[in-house]
A = this chain, B = another copy of it.
Amino acid sequence: MNLARVRGTVVATRRSDKVEGAKWLLIEDCDQSGKGRGEYLVALDMVGANRGELVLVTQGSSCRWTSRTEDRPMDTLVVAIVDTIDQRGAVVYAAAP
Which A residues are closer than 8 A to B by beta carbons? 1-3, 7-19, 24, 26, 31-32, 40-43, 46-48, 51, 56, 58-67, 69, 71-77, 79-89, 92
User: Within the complex, which residue of B51, B59, B71, B79 is in contact with A65, where a contact is CB–CB below 8 Å?
Assistant: B71
How many copies make up the complex? 5
CB <8 Å contact, A51 and B16: no
Check A47/B15 contact, CB under 8 A, given A73-B62, A88-B7: yes
Measured CA separation A57–B43 after assembly (Å): 11
User: Within the complex, which residue of B63, B82, B88 is in contact with A8, where a contact is CB–CB below 8 Å?
Assistant: B88
CB <8 Å contact, B85 and A8: yes
CB <8 Å contact, B79 and A15: yes
